[in-house]
Amino acid sequence: MPRLQIFAGLFVLIASLGLFLFALNSELGTSSIETELPVADAPQVAVDQNGFGATTLNEHRTPDVTPPAGMVWIPGGEFSMGSDSSAESLCSVPGVTQDSVPIHRVYVDSFWMDETEVTNEQFADFVAATGYVTVAERKPTQEEFPTAPPENLIAGSTVFSATKEPVPLNNYFQWWSYIGGTDWRHPTGPDSSIDDHADYPVVQVAFEDSEAYAKWAGKRLPTEAEWEFAARGGRAGDLYAWGNELQPEGKFQANIYQGEFPVEGKDTGADGFQGIAPVKQYAANPFGLYDVGGNVWEWTRDWYSHDYYATLAKTGEVARNPQGPDVPFDPAEPTEKKRVHRGGSFLCTDLSCTRYMVGTRGKGEVRTASNHVGFRCVIEVKAD
């Protein structure tokens, strides 16, 4: 979803729907993903019925140094990356964009990773030290958005806005609004605040804001492969970061959405939270990472392309430290430059978006922030 697209109003809505329908038609009619590139075939690893092979960890030793504060050691290794197509669903359009297939073999080096998403407190420290101004706080220019009426060129960002009545789940413009005065300190509009939310993940951060923080902290954003390797916690082929059951022993393991989406008052909060939650409210995965499923999406550094996994699988090799495609491309919005999001959010529901599943993908236009996207960082460790 591009920043300020809401400004262009009906025209953009119609244009986007047209593009969407075109993409939908293309996907259903002539899908190159399904017909030409069904599975990875070369790496000689025994795979299960769903296409997943064993995860092989590098020697699990922590470097002989004090761990960076708030970070955990991810040993690196080789694993099967992606999602079985039966688990596939696009936010809003289940079963259409099969961008998490085929499952393919990937190797990543070891690294440190933030145990939680970057919090408001941590981001505030960064802003206090640097005076950094986020994308959402900057006034958009006519050059950037030539079709937007001048009166609409105001600093702000996109906010989830529950609908009054049930709506078809095929058009996200129905539940996202651009609201002036929205930024990381006012994540759901100018009258909102982060008072008493120091330990909540920072949101309303665009890709470049996340990168700026990471650079200041002496870190960087994870690649998509690093993110998934870490989130899987050394296990192979699980549906979720915590196993294969959504609610083991009846208990939710992540902050997602229960109830009728996206209708006002219908988020039941059966998992303990309506809307966003503080970090560390659910158990960590085996590597010690919290909230890799749900709560807020996380930026990764990779460009998004719907067929990147197919491209890697086609080589027949184990992809070593893949860095994403050179050029972004989302067939649903082909003019937008998007980076990969991972992990899903408190708005993900089995009704419309199951992207809290550990092998599935999301994406976001690089200058678009919202109140359900944040990030965490890594420090890379070169192989011995």
Note the residues at the interface with Ca ion (CB under 5 A).
Answer: 255, 271, 273, 346
- CB 357 to Ca ion: min, Å: 16
Residue reference for tokens 């294969």: 244
Q: How far apart are CA 283 and CA 115, in angstroms?
A: 12
Nearer to Ca ion by C-beta: 82 or 374? 374
- Where is 72: in which H helix or E strand? strand 71-74
Question: For 250, which DSSP code?
Answer: G
Burial class (CB in 10 A: 0-12, 13-18, 19+), 189: middle
- CB 254 to Ca ion: min, Å: 8
In this structure, what is the dihedral angle of CA atoms 299, 300, 305, 311, given to the nearest 10 degrees?
-160
In this structure, what is the dihedral angle of CA atoms 36, 44, 304, 293, given to the nearest 10 degrees?
120
Closest to 355 in 3D by CA, of 342, 336, 368, 365: 342
- CB 199 to Ca ion: min, Å: 17
- CB 268 to Ca ion: min, Å: 8
Nearer to Ca ion by C-beta: 109 or 267? 267
Nearer to Ca ion by C-beta: 72 or 277? 277
Residue reference for tokens 């020697």: 59
Nearer to Ca ion by C-beta: 276 or 319? 276
Helix/strand/coil for 159:
strand
- CB 372 to Ca ion: min, Å: 11
- CB 178 to Ca ion: min, Å: 24
Token pair listed for 159? 């906010």
Nearer to Ca ion by C-beta: 98 or 295? 295
Nearer to Ca ion by C-beta: 255 or 368? 255
Closest to 272 in 3D by CA, of 239, 299, 292, 294: 294
